[in-house]
Amino acid sequence: MLEIKNVSKIYGQGTAKVVALSNVSFRVDEGDFIAIMGPSGSGKSTLLNVIGGLDYPSSGEVILDGKRIDNLDENDFVGIRRNKIAYVFQQYHLLPSLTALENVMLPLIFCGLEKEEESALDMLEEVGLGGRTEHKPSQLSGGEQQRVAIARALVNSPSLILADEPTGNMDQETGREILGLFQQLNKDGRSIVMVTHNPDIARHAKEIIILQDGRIINKIDQKGGNRKDVKEDSTRFSINCDNTKHSVV
């Protein structure tokens, strides 16, 4: 489905040169749920931006459904964002003057499908907001606003969801509710790549990719229910599996 091949991203030149990503490679297959972890500044959000076409790699390739997409211009990438890739941010980015339904309708309107209101209503129902369609963002809780943002991202039925710290602004209980929603979306067949600092979220993914200084330093396969306990601080990740503790620095 998605293949990241030897991707590097470099900002600046000379003494101002910053290597945000260095030779990163991995695959996302249909139905995968991959958590990207690492200390602040390790390149997590940069990687997600490169996958989603919000930034260009300095070298390497991003291949989606057999087609290279990292070299597309903005106009060519619009169709991919509308139909194949959904992006869920930590900030909800809802338009305050619009209702929940109207916010979810925006991608449909941009695609000339403004008559497909039923699709937006169905998506709000799917994320548990069927009774809040006429509420504006100021009338919704943080968790409800994130659900609207997720519904908006999914209304065009994308196959891949990119999520950048989607529970970062929430309390633990609300974060668990949003995680449950992502888990259900994954069970329904959608592939998810999620950046998170939260070990409790990462342990529910099927694979954990750990970045440090722009490089992948570890990949942890959690498929088949073989879940690990992951503890994070700014420099070290501890992974507990079958009562054996492994440290990744």
pLDDT tens digit sequence for 197-209:
888 888 889 999 9
pLDDT band at 242 (very low <50, low <70, confident <90, very high): very low
Predicted local distance difference test score (pLDDT) of residue 245: 44
The more confident residue out of 103 and 235 is 103
Query: What b/e sequence results for 10-26 when a residue is b if at least 16 CB atoms lie within 10 Å of its CB, and e otherwise?
Result: eeeeeeeeebbbbebeb
* Spatial CA neighbour of 162 closest among 24, 8, 33, 6: 33
Q: Helix, strand, or coil here: 163? A: strand
> What Rg value do the Cα atoms of the chain yield, rounded?
18
Predicted local distance difference test score (pLDDT) of residue 243: 40
Q: Contact at 8 Å (CB) between 1 and 66?
A: no
Whether residue 226 has pLDDT greater than 60: no
pLDDT tens digit sequence for 57-110:
999 999 998 889 888 888 888 778 777 888 888 788 899 999 999 999 888 877
Backbone torsions φ then ψ of 47, nearest 5 degrees:
-60, -45
Q: What distance lies between CA 138 and its chain's CA centroid?
A: 25
- What mean pLDDT, rounded, does the chain reach? 84
pLDDT band at 217 (very low <50, low <70, confident <90, very high): very high
pLDDT tens digit sequence for 21-50:
999 999 999 999 999 999 888 999 999 999
Half-sphere exposure of 52 (CA within 13 A, CB side): 24
Predicted local distance difference test score (pLDDT) of residue 133: 93
Token duo for residue 116: 């497909």
What is the CB neighbour count within 10 angstroms for residue 153? Answer: 22
User: Helical H runs in the chain?
Assistant: 44-51, 74-83, 100-110, 117-126, 142-154, 172-187, 199-202
Predicted local distance difference test score (pLDDT) of residue 24: 95
Q: Contact at 8 Å (CB) between 80 and 53?
A: yes
pLDDT tens digit sequence for 126-155:
888 889 999 999 999 888 898 898 888 888
Predicted local distance difference test score (pLDDT) of residue 115: 65
